[in-house]
Amino acid sequence: MSATRTPGAADRALSLPSMSTPGSPSWDTTELPQGDQKVRAVRDMFDAIAPRYDLVNRIMTFRLDVRWRRKAVRLLDLPSGSRVLDLASGTGDLCIDLRRAGHRPISFDLSFGMLAADRSGAPRSQADILRLPIADGAVDGVTCGFALRNLVDLRTFFDELGRVVRPGGRIALLDVSVPRNRLVRSGHALYFGRIVPRIGGWLSDPAAYRYLPKSVAYLPPASTMLEWLRAAGFHDATHRQLSGGITQLMVATRA
Ligand SMILES: C[S@@+](CC[C@H](N)C(=O)[O-])C[C@H]1O[C@@H](n2cnc3c(N)ncnc32)[C@H](O)[C@@H]1O
Protein backbone atom coordinates (compact mmCIF):
# COMPACT_ATOMS: atom_id res chain seq x y z
CA MET A 1 0.00 0.00 0.00
CA SER A 2 1.42 3.37 -0.91
CA ALA A 3 0.66 6.58 0.95
CA THR A 4 2.67 8.71 -1.46
CA ARG A 5 0.83 11.68 -3.00
CA THR A 6 2.00 14.88 -4.55
CA PRO A 7 2.39 17.50 -1.80
CA GLY A 8 -0.55 19.88 -1.91
CA ALA A 9 -2.88 17.37 -3.59
CA ALA A 10 -5.50 17.98 -0.93
CA ASP A 11 -5.13 21.71 -1.51
CA ARG A 12 -6.07 21.37 -5.16
CA ALA A 13 -8.83 18.84 -4.52
CA LEU A 14 -10.36 20.98 -1.81
CA SER A 15 -10.25 24.43 -3.32
CA LEU A 16 -13.33 25.47 -1.41
CA PRO A 17 -15.24 28.69 -1.53
CA SER A 18 -15.78 30.36 1.84
CA MET A 19 -19.01 29.79 3.74
CA SER A 20 -20.58 32.44 5.90
CA THR A 21 -20.73 30.66 9.28
CA PRO A 22 -18.26 27.85 9.85
CA GLY A 23 -19.92 24.91 11.58
CA SER A 24 -23.45 26.22 11.11
CA PRO A 25 -26.13 23.52 10.79
CA SER A 26 -27.18 24.69 7.34
CA TRP A 27 -27.28 21.37 5.45
CA ASP A 28 -26.59 23.55 2.43
CA THR A 29 -23.89 21.76 0.48
CA THR A 30 -24.18 23.62 -2.80
CA GLU A 31 -20.72 25.17 -2.36
CA LEU A 32 -19.01 21.88 -1.44
CA PRO A 33 -17.71 19.16 -3.80
CA GLN A 34 -20.28 16.54 -4.86
CA GLY A 35 -20.32 13.12 -6.54
CA ASP A 36 -17.07 11.81 -8.04
CA GLN A 37 -15.31 15.09 -7.34
CA LYS A 38 -16.08 14.63 -3.64
CA VAL A 39 -14.85 10.99 -3.64
CA ARG A 40 -11.50 12.06 -5.17
CA ALA A 41 -11.18 15.08 -2.89
CA VAL A 42 -11.87 13.01 0.24
CA ARG A 43 -9.46 10.23 -0.76
CA ASP A 44 -6.65 12.65 -1.65
CA MET A 45 -7.22 14.63 1.54
CA PHE A 46 -6.97 11.56 3.80
CA ASP A 47 -3.93 10.24 1.91
CA ALA A 48 -2.28 13.61 2.58
CA ILE A 49 -3.12 13.87 6.30
CA ALA A 50 -2.72 10.19 7.26
CA PRO A 51 0.77 10.45 8.82
CA ARG A 52 -0.34 13.00 11.44
CA TYR A 53 -4.07 12.21 11.58
CA ASP A 54 -4.00 10.67 15.08
CA LEU A 55 -1.79 13.41 16.54
CA VAL A 56 -4.03 16.23 15.25
CA ASN A 57 -7.16 14.40 16.43
CA ARG A 58 -5.85 14.01 19.98
CA ILE A 59 -4.76 17.64 20.18
CA MET A 60 -7.84 19.26 18.63
CA THR A 61 -10.31 17.20 20.71
CA PHE A 62 -8.24 17.23 23.93
CA ARG A 63 -8.36 13.41 23.66
CA LEU A 64 -12.18 13.39 23.81
CA ASP A 65 -12.14 11.42 20.54
CA VAL A 66 -10.74 8.44 22.48
CA ARG A 67 -13.71 8.57 24.85
CA TRP A 68 -16.27 8.94 22.03
CA ARG A 69 -15.00 5.82 20.26
CA ARG A 70 -15.00 3.78 23.49
CA LYS A 71 -18.57 4.86 24.16
CA ALA A 72 -19.58 3.83 20.63
CA VAL A 73 -18.13 0.35 21.18
CA ARG A 74 -19.80 0.09 24.61
CA LEU A 75 -23.20 1.06 23.20
CA LEU A 76 -22.75 -1.30 20.28
CA ASP A 77 -23.50 -3.78 23.03
CA LEU A 78 -22.66 -6.99 21.20
CA PRO A 79 -21.41 -10.21 22.84
CA SER A 80 -17.66 -10.79 22.87
CA GLY A 81 -16.42 -12.56 19.76
CA SER A 82 -18.81 -10.71 17.42
CA ARG A 83 -17.74 -10.14 13.80
CA VAL A 84 -17.82 -6.36 13.39
CA LEU A 85 -17.03 -4.27 10.32
CA ASP A 86 -15.33 -0.98 11.07
CA LEU A 87 -16.19 1.12 8.03
CA ALA A 88 -14.08 4.10 6.96
CA SER A 89 -11.69 2.76 9.56
CA GLY A 90 -8.93 5.31 8.97
CA THR A 91 -5.93 4.54 11.17
CA GLY A 92 -7.85 1.84 13.03
CA ASP A 93 -8.67 3.46 16.39
CA LEU A 94 -12.14 1.88 16.54
CA CYS A 95 -10.66 -1.52 15.60
CA ILE A 96 -8.33 -1.27 18.59
CA ASP A 97 -11.31 -0.60 20.89
CA LEU A 98 -13.34 -3.38 19.25
CA ARG A 99 -10.51 -5.85 19.84
CA ARG A 100 -10.20 -4.73 23.46
CA ALA A 101 -13.91 -5.53 23.85
CA GLY A 102 -13.21 -9.04 22.53
CA HIS A 103 -14.70 -8.53 19.05
CA ARG A 104 -13.28 -9.59 15.68
CA PRO A 105 -13.11 -6.42 13.57
CA ILE A 106 -12.51 -6.18 9.83
CA SER A 107 -11.83 -2.75 8.40
CA PHE A 108 -12.51 -1.04 5.09
CA ASP A 109 -11.38 2.39 3.96
CA LEU A 110 -11.03 4.28 0.70
CA SER A 111 -7.64 5.84 1.46
CA PHE A 112 -4.48 3.73 1.06
CA GLY A 113 -2.66 6.35 3.13
CA MET A 114 -4.98 5.82 6.10
CA LEU A 115 -4.91 2.02 5.71
CA ALA A 116 -1.10 2.12 5.63
CA ALA A 117 -1.08 4.09 8.90
CA ASP A 118 -3.38 1.53 10.60
CA ARG A 119 -1.64 -0.09 13.57
CA SER A 120 -4.65 -2.04 14.89
CA GLY A 121 -3.60 -5.37 13.41
CA ALA A 122 -7.17 -6.00 12.21
CA PRO A 123 -7.60 -7.39 8.66
CA ARG A 124 -8.07 -4.42 6.36
CA SER A 125 -8.92 -3.73 2.72
CA GLN A 126 -9.47 -0.82 0.43
CA ALA A 127 -13.14 -0.41 -0.55
CA ASP A 128 -15.80 2.19 -1.07
CA ILE A 129 -18.15 1.52 1.85
CA LEU A 130 -21.15 2.36 -0.32
CA ARG A 131 -20.47 -0.96 -2.11
CA LEU A 132 -19.22 -3.48 0.43
CA PRO A 133 -17.66 -6.77 -0.75
CA ILE A 134 -19.64 -8.59 1.97
CA ALA A 135 -22.51 -11.08 1.69
CA ASP A 136 -26.04 -10.26 2.89
CA GLY A 137 -26.50 -10.61 6.68
CA ALA A 138 -22.88 -11.78 7.12
CA VAL A 139 -21.83 -9.61 10.08
CA ASP A 140 -22.97 -9.08 13.67
CA GLY A 141 -22.30 -5.38 13.73
CA VAL A 142 -20.85 -2.25 12.19
CA THR A 143 -19.02 0.75 13.58
CA CYS A 144 -18.26 3.89 11.60
CA GLY A 145 -16.37 6.84 13.09
CA PHE A 146 -16.43 10.39 11.73
CA ALA A 147 -17.04 9.48 8.10
CA LEU A 148 -20.76 9.97 7.43
CA ARG A 149 -20.23 13.51 6.14
CA ASN A 150 -17.54 12.28 3.77
CA LEU A 151 -19.89 9.96 1.86
CA VAL A 152 -21.56 11.00 -1.38
CA ASP A 153 -24.85 9.26 -0.56
CA LEU A 154 -25.75 8.61 3.07
CA ARG A 155 -29.01 6.81 2.26
CA THR A 156 -27.19 4.28 0.10
CA PHE A 157 -24.74 3.74 2.97
CA PHE A 158 -27.57 3.08 5.45
CA ASP A 159 -29.19 0.66 2.98
CA GLU A 160 -25.82 -1.11 2.65
CA LEU A 161 -25.67 -1.44 6.46
CA GLY A 162 -29.18 -2.93 6.41
CA ARG A 163 -28.01 -5.43 3.81
CA VAL A 164 -24.80 -6.69 5.51
CA VAL A 165 -25.89 -6.73 9.19
CA ARG A 166 -27.73 -9.90 10.32
CA PRO A 167 -31.13 -9.63 12.03
CA GLY A 168 -30.49 -8.68 15.68
CA GLY A 169 -27.08 -7.22 14.75
CA ARG A 170 -26.12 -3.72 15.85
CA ILE A 171 -24.59 -0.56 14.47
CA ALA A 172 -22.89 2.44 16.14
CA LEU A 173 -22.19 5.52 14.02
CA LEU A 174 -20.23 8.55 15.23
CA ASP A 175 -19.71 11.91 13.60
CA VAL A 176 -19.09 15.52 14.48
CA SER A 177 -22.12 17.67 15.21
CA VAL A 178 -23.31 21.17 15.92
CA PRO A 179 -24.30 21.87 19.57
CA ARG A 180 -27.98 22.75 20.10
CA ASN A 181 -27.32 25.25 22.91
CA ARG A 182 -26.78 28.69 21.38
CA LEU A 183 -23.93 29.70 23.69
CA VAL A 184 -22.06 26.41 23.32
CA ARG A 185 -22.69 26.57 19.57
CA SER A 186 -21.07 29.98 19.15
CA GLY A 187 -18.02 28.99 21.25
CA HIS A 188 -17.74 25.79 19.27
CA ALA A 189 -18.11 27.62 15.94
CA LEU A 190 -15.18 29.83 16.92
CA TYR A 191 -13.02 26.90 18.04
CA PHE A 192 -13.95 24.48 15.24
CA GLY A 193 -14.22 27.10 12.53
CA ARG A 194 -11.17 29.24 13.32
CA ILE A 195 -8.77 27.54 15.77
CA VAL A 196 -8.90 23.92 14.57
CA PRO A 197 -7.96 24.91 10.98
CA ARG A 198 -4.91 26.73 12.40
CA ILE A 199 -3.81 23.80 14.56
CA GLY A 200 -4.35 21.44 11.60
CA GLY A 201 -2.54 23.85 9.30
CA TRP A 202 0.54 24.03 11.55
CA LEU A 203 0.78 20.30 12.12
CA SER A 204 -0.63 18.86 8.91
CA ASP A 205 -2.41 19.93 5.72
CA PRO A 206 -4.04 23.40 5.88
CA ALA A 207 -6.67 22.71 3.18
CA ALA A 208 -7.83 19.54 4.91
CA TYR A 209 -8.42 21.29 8.21
CA ARG A 210 -10.17 24.21 6.53
CA TYR A 211 -12.51 21.67 4.94
CA LEU A 212 -13.24 19.89 8.25
CA PRO A 213 -15.62 22.50 9.80
CA LYS A 214 -17.28 23.11 6.43
CA SER A 215 -17.97 19.42 5.88
CA VAL A 216 -20.46 19.38 8.79
CA ALA A 217 -22.91 20.96 6.35
CA TYR A 218 -23.15 17.61 4.52
CA LEU A 219 -24.90 16.02 7.49
CA PRO A 220 -28.70 15.96 7.46
CA PRO A 221 -30.58 16.67 10.70
CA ALA A 222 -30.66 13.82 13.24
CA SER A 223 -34.37 13.21 12.62
CA THR A 224 -33.70 12.63 8.90
CA MET A 225 -30.83 10.23 9.56
CA LEU A 226 -32.97 8.26 12.04
CA GLU A 227 -35.79 8.06 9.50
CA TRP A 228 -33.35 6.75 6.86
CA LEU A 229 -31.96 4.18 9.31
CA ARG A 230 -35.49 2.92 10.07
CA ALA A 231 -36.23 2.72 6.35
CA ALA A 232 -33.01 0.67 5.96
CA GLY A 233 -34.33 -1.91 8.47
CA PHE A 234 -33.03 -0.67 11.84
CA HIS A 235 -36.08 -0.63 14.13
CA ASP A 236 -34.86 1.10 17.30
CA ALA A 237 -32.51 3.77 15.99
CA THR A 238 -31.56 6.35 18.61
CA HIS A 239 -29.48 9.50 18.44
CA ARG A 240 -27.51 11.20 21.22
CA GLN A 241 -25.26 14.20 21.43
CA LEU A 242 -21.91 13.78 23.21
CA SER A 243 -19.75 16.36 25.01
CA GLY A 244 -22.30 19.15 24.82
CA GLY A 245 -23.29 18.30 21.26
CA ILE A 246 -19.96 18.62 19.46
CA THR A 247 -20.24 14.96 18.48
CA GLN A 248 -23.21 12.72 17.71
CA LEU A 249 -23.71 8.98 18.11
CA MET A 250 -26.44 6.86 16.56
CA VAL A 251 -27.03 3.25 17.57
CA ALA A 252 -29.59 0.83 16.20
CA THR A 253 -30.53 -2.86 15.90
CA ARG A 254 -31.26 -4.67 12.62
CA ALA A 255 -34.85 -5.88 12.66
C1 LIG B 1 -12.33 11.39 9.64
S2 LIG B 1 -11.68 9.85 9.07
C3 LIG B 1 -12.23 8.74 10.33
C4 LIG B 1 -11.32 7.58 10.56
C5 LIG B 1 -11.68 6.67 11.74
N6 LIG B 1 -12.95 6.02 11.55
C7 LIG B 1 -11.66 7.42 13.04
O8 LIG B 1 -12.56 7.21 13.86
O9 LIG B 1 -10.71 8.17 13.28
C10 LIG B 1 -12.79 9.46 7.73
C11 LIG B 1 -12.34 8.25 6.95
O12 LIG B 1 -13.37 7.92 6.02
C13 LIG B 1 -12.76 7.37 4.87
N14 LIG B 1 -13.75 7.40 3.78
C15 LIG B 1 -14.38 8.48 3.27
N16 LIG B 1 -15.23 8.11 2.30
C17 LIG B 1 -15.14 6.76 2.19
C18 LIG B 1 -15.77 5.80 1.37
N19 LIG B 1 -16.70 6.13 0.46
N20 LIG B 1 -15.44 4.50 1.52
C21 LIG B 1 -14.52 4.14 2.44
N22 LIG B 1 -13.89 5.01 3.26
C23 LIG B 1 -14.19 6.31 3.14
C24 LIG B 1 -11.55 8.26 4.69
O25 LIG B 1 -10.58 7.70 3.83
C26 LIG B 1 -11.07 8.43 6.13
O27 LIG B 1 -10.13 7.44 6.49
Instruction: Encode pLDDT of 58-84 as tens digits.
Output: 999 999 999 999 999 999 999 999 999
Q: What is the pLDDT of residue 30?
A: 65
- In three-state secondary structure terms, 100 is helix
Q: Is the pLDDT of residue 205 over 50?
A: yes
- CA 80–ligand 1 middle distance (angstroms): 25
- CA 147–ligand 1 middle distance (angstroms): 5
List the 165-176 sheet strands across, edge first.
Answer: 124-126, 104-109, 83-87, 139-145, 165-176, 247-253, 238-242
Our answer on whether the CB atom of 150 is closer than 6 Å to any ligand 1 atom is yes
How large is the C-alpha radius of gyration of the chain? 17
- CA 198–ligand 1 middle distance (angstroms): 22
Q: What is the pLDDT of residue 237?
A: 98
Sign of CA dihedral 38, 43, 47, 52: positive
* Average pLDDT of span 41-45: 94
Q: What is the pLDDT of residue 28?
A: 59
- Cβ neighbours of residue 6 under 8 Å, at least 6 residues apart? none
Spatial contact of 245 and 23, defined as CB atoms under 8 Å apart: no
Counting atoms of ligand 1 from 1, which one is nearest the CA of 86?
6
- In three-state secondary structure terms, 232 is coil
Q: Is the pLDDT of residue 13 over 90?
A: no
Q: Is the pLDDT of residue 169 over 60?
A: yes
- Spatial CA neighbour of 94 closest among 61, 54, 60, 131: 54
- In three-state secondary structure terms, 242 is strand
Residue 245 DSSP one-character state: G
Phi, psi dihedral angles at 76 (to 5 degrees): -60, -35
